Amino acid sequence: MRNPVLLLYFWSVYCCFPAGSLTTLRPQGSLRDEHHEPTKVPDPALAKPSVIFNIRTSKDPEHEGCNISLGNDQYLEDCGFNMTAKTFFVFHGWTMSGILETWLYKLVSALKTREKDANVVVVDWLPLAHRLYVDAVNHSQMVGQRVAELLNWLQEKEEFSLGNVHLIGYSLGAHVAGFVGNFVKGKVGRISGLDPAGPMFEGVDIDRRLSPDDADFVDVLHTYTATFGLSVGIQMPVGHIDVYPNNGDYQPGCGLNDVLGSIAYGTITEALECEHERAVHLFVDSLVNQDQPSFAFQCTDSNRFKKGLCLSCRKNRCNRIGYNAKKMRKKRNTKMYLKTRAGMPFRVYHYQMKVHIFSYKGTGDIQPTFYITLYGSNADSQNMPLEVVEKIKLNATNTFLVHTEEDLGDLLKIRFTWQDISHSWYNLWNEFRSYLSQPSSSSKELNIRRVRVKSGETQKKMTFCAPDTKKTSISPGQELWFHKCRDGWRVKNETRVPSSPFVELA
């Protein structure tokens, strides 16, 4: 996808081909439909093989692998195809380079390392993918049919099981994998969609894109769902579980947080590719760093997750991501979220912070800029800003999400700092607005008695209290310390701040 006019091209796709406008993506019936047979799609590339099945017999990217073909048993034997082992099919997407990109070899190597006896088949459809994006989309159904025909032939072998088949597709290749699941006789075990393509698939019917019906278990990673009002990766949930790392848009280390800087320095194309391809590297990470799994948490929307309201693992509300994801029975389109680091291993540690903030002296709209530092038995965190999704509520319990890149161990104490200097125009405006809304006699002073913490990874709950219950006030430029006082949410027999008209919520 290295092209300086990538965005303009995708924009033309959106303008000229609205979602659902193509009628050739997939026939209304499927091979699983007992009343309808799929319409055969004519092959536009009869002069040369348009789909090649290449078994990767080595982790070495320079190794050419071994090609198999439908109906040829000798090729299966020569290539060492193991009928009883797991079988992975890897699908690339639309390409402007016309070559297999480096991410594919990294994924193949990770699969061969994790599952040494497995068959790893690269579905090379470059002659059909190295075209205009619209044409590649229209050819994707035919590629799915070819792979389904191969799987139907393999099912004629006594020891081969479709339940052992795992299809892994990137971008447009994710929808190709979905087409395979639609056309094959029976049901493949699993499909993993790595940032499935959005243009011409967003909002269309389930029989014309990847969907939960295409496999026994469909898990999806969304990493590039919105940039400049344009989504290269599909935004809508299309699997049994749909994971949105870092809200599914700006990925750490990719540089798109600084859009103007990326444009000014000519790195915008690399940043776009980094966002889209991050799904692949998260999946690779799950294969090679299984001892450091990344956990995602079920949530109805990204704002609730960013508030720290969705760190529960009860009733399968959390799951490992990538290869280690566990099937969630009788569920579909479950949206899950997590934070990640900028590179491998991507795992971070999530914490929910519940803070009841009192305002005794002023009734104005005070919006403090809080920073927090966590001190643990293994390590200490950096001084981190508390992200405010909406606004801080006074005389109420506020919930925040905090994440650290290091395993801090058991948390021992917490430091709150009220930043005195505004670092952005947004904060300056909040400060100015707060100043105008406050009575002239009021002072900026808030009170915090305790902080309640829940670890997303361990599900452990902790409570941290101010050492002196009479010294709980904080003003701009000051800090408050809280020490671990009791495990769990409840703190009994604790002296409350005198003359407080408010009761802290449980």
Beta-bridge mates of residue 55:
66, 121
Ranges of beta strands (E only) in 178-325 are 190-194, 217-221, 241-245, 295-298, 318-320
Flag whether pLDDT at 503 surpasses 70: no
In SS3 terms, 235-256 reads as CCCCCCEEEEEHHHCCCCCCCC
Please give the average per-residue pLDDT across 483-504, as a whole number: 52
| pLDDT, position 485 | 92
| pLDDT, position 431 | 53
Query: In CATH, which of 3.30.360.10, 2.60.60.20, 2.40.50.140, 3.40.50.620 is domain 349-487?
Result: 2.60.60.20
| pLDDT, position 229 | 60
| pLDDT, position 367 | 83
Q: How many CB atoms lie within 10 A of CB 80?
A: 10
**In the block, residue with structure tokens 């590039």:** 224
Q: In which residue ranges of the chain is CATH 2.60.60.20 found? A: 349-487
Residues 321, 295 contacting (CB under 8 angstroms): yes
Q: How many residues does the chain have?
A: 506
pLDDT grade, residue 270 (50/70/90)? Answer: low
Please give the average per-residue pLDDT across 466-475, as a whole number: 92
Which residues are within 8 A (CB) of 148 and not within 5 positions of it... i.e. 6 or more apart? 31, 179, 180, 182, 183, 184, 185
CATH 3.40.50.1820 fits 50-338, yes or no: yes
CA distances from 80 to 69, 75, 85, 146, 188 (A): 13, 8, 11, 21, 22
Percentage of residues in the chain with pLDDT exceeding 70?
77
The angle at the Cα of 433, spanning 432 to 439, to the nearest 5 degrees, equals 100
| pLDDT, position 219 | 98
Alpha carbon distance, N-terminus to C-terminus of the chain: 51
In the chain, how long is the greatest CA-to-CA distance? 90
Output DSSP code: residue 80: T
Output DSSP code: residue 230: B
pLDDT grade, residue 24 (50/70/90)? Answer: very low
The angle at the Cα of 404, spanning 388 to 477, to the nearest 5 degrees, equals 50
| Dist. CA 370–CA 466, nearest whole Å | 16
Interhelix angle 268-288/102-114, rounded to 10 degrees, is 10
Flag whether pLDDT at 360 surpasses 90: no
Flag whether pLDDT at 464 surpasses 90: yes
- The runs of H, that is alpha helices, within 38-195 are 73-78, 102-114, 126-129, 133-154, 172-183
CA distances from 269 to 1, 6, 167 (A): 8, 8, 28
| Dist. CA 490–CA 475, nearest whole Å | 27
| pLDDT, position 422 | 52
Q: Which of 119, 218, 123 is nearest to 160 (CA)?
A: 119
Please give the average per-residue pLDDT across 127-147, as a whole number: 97
Please give the average per-residue pLDDT across 262-280, as a whole number: 69
| Dist. CA 176–CA 144, nearest whole Å | 5
Residues designated as active site: 171, 195, 276
The angle at the Cα of 14, spanning 10 to 18, to the nearest 5 degrees, equals 150
